Chains A and B, each alone.
Chain A
Amino acid sequence: MRSMKAIAGRILEVLKSYPTSKTMPSRVLERKLGEDKAALAKALNHLLQEHKIQCYHLKDEDGHKTLHYKLGELKLKHLSSEELLVYQIIEQSNDRGIWTRDIKLRSNLQQPAIAKILKTLESRALIKSVKWVTNKNRKVYMLMEVEPSREITGGAWYTDNEMDEELVHAAEKICLKFVEKTFKATGRRATAGDVGAHVRGTQIIKTEMKDDEIRAVLKVLVYDGKLDEYRAAGAEDEDEDGLEYAPAICKPPKGLPEHLVEMLEVGWLVRSGEKRPESTKRGEDGTVTPSRLKRLFGEEEERAEEVGGRGGGEERDLYFFRGT
Chain B
Amino acid sequence: MKYLDVIGLQKLQAFVRSVDVGDYCVEGILEAYSCKLAGSDKKLSRSLDQEVAQDLSVSPEGVVLSASPVGPLTEAGSRRTLIYLLLTMQHIYPDYDFSLLRAHNFSKEKGPERVKANVDTLLLETTKAWANENGGDLSFSEQLWSAVDKVINMYECDIYSYNPDESDPFGEDGYIWSFNYFFYNKKMKRILYFSCRGKTKAYEDSDEQLDDLEDHEGRFFSMDDI
Give the interface of A toward B (CB within 8 A). Answer: 59, 92-93, 96, 98-102, 104-106, 111, 115, 129, 131-132, 134-139, 151, 154
Tell whether, in the assembled complex, residue A99 and residue B97 are in contact, meaning their CB atoms are under 8 Å apart.
Answer: no
- A137 and B223 contacting across the interface, CB-CB below 8 Å: no
> Which are the 6 A-B pairs with shortest beta-carbon distances?
A134-B221, A101-B95, A135-B167, A137-B167, A100-B95, A139-B97
- B202-226: CB near A (< 8 Å → 1, else 0) gives 0000000010110011011111011
How far in angstroms is the closest Cβ of chain A from B213?
A: 6
Q: Is there an interface contact between B213 and A135, defined as CB atoms closer than 8 Å?
A: no
Contacts of A98 in B (CB 8 A): 213, 216
**Segment 110-139 of B: residues with Cβ below 8 Å from A:** none
Chain A residues with Cβ under 8 A from B226's Cβ? 134
- Contact in complex: B222, A134 (CB < 8 Å): yes
Contact B210 A106 (CB under 8 A): yes
**Complex CA–CA separation, A104 to B210 (angstroms):** 11
| A134-B94 in contact (CB<8A) | no
Give the number of residues in B that approach A within 8 Å (Cβ atoms). 21
A91 CA to B226 CA, complexed, in Å: 28
B100 at the interface (CB under 8 A from A): yes
Given pairs A92-B213, A98-B216, A104-B95, 16 additional interface contacts (CB within 8 A): A96-B216, A98-B213, A99-B95, A100-B94, A102-B210, A102-B219, A115-B94, A131-B97, A132-B220, A134-B167, A134-B222, A134-B223, A137-B96, A138-B167, A151-B222, A154-B223
**A213-B8 Cα distance, complex, nearest whole Å:** 57
Q: Quick one: given A98-B216, A151-B222, A151-B223, are A138 and B210 in contact (CB under 8 Å)?
A: no
- Across the interface, do A137 and B220 meet the contact criterion of CB distance under 8 Å? no
In contact, B220 and A136 (Cβ under 8 angstroms) = no
Question: Does B168 contact A102, Cβ atoms closer than 8 Å?
Answer: no
Q: Is B24 an interface residue (CB 8 A)?
A: no
Tell me the dominant secondary structure on chain A's binding face: mixed
Q: Pick the contact of B221 from A99, A129, A135 — CB < 8 Å?
A: A135
- Contact of B3 with A by CB under 8 A: no
Please count the residue pairs between chain A and chain B whose beta carbons lie under 8 angstroms apart in the complex: 55
Q: Bound complex: CA of A154 vs CA of B221, how far in Å?
A: 12
Whether the pair B210, A137 counts as a contact (CB closer than 8 A) is no
A93: chain B residues at CB < 8 Å are: 213, 216
**Chain A residue with minimal CB distance to B216?**
A102
Decide if B175 is an interface residue (CB 8 Å cutoff): no
A99 to B217 Cα, complex, angstroms: 12
Known: A98-B216, A100-B94. A136 touches B210 (CB 8 A): no
Q: Tell me how far the C-beta of B153 lies from the nearest C-beta in chain A, rounded to whole angstroms.
A: 31
A115 to B40, CA, bound (A): 12
Nearest CB on B from A129, distance (A) = 7
Contact of A139 (CB < 8 Å), options: B96, B221, B222: B96
Known contacts A115-B94, A151-B223, A136 near B213 by CB under 8 Å: no
A-contact bits for B86-106, CB 8 A (1 contact / 0 none): 000000001111101000000
Closest Cβ of chain B: how far from A95's Cβ, in Å? 12
A92, A129, A136, A137 — most chain B CB neighbours (10 Å): A137
How far is B211's CA from A92's CA once the two chains are assembled, in angstroms?
12
Provide the residues of chain A in CB contact with B94, threshold 8 Å: 100, 111, 115, 139
Q: Which of B168, B212, B216 contacts A137, CB < 8 Å?
A: B168
Enumerate chain B residues within 8 angstroms of A138, measured Cβ to Cβ.
Answer: 95-97, 167
Contact of A135 among B98, B216, B217, B220 (CB under 8 A): B220
Find out whether the CB atom of A136 lies under 8 angstroms from the CB atom of B221. Answer: no
Binary per-residue interface labels of chain B (62-103) against chain A in the complex, 1 for a CB within 8 Å, 0 otherwise:
000000000000000000000000000000001111101000
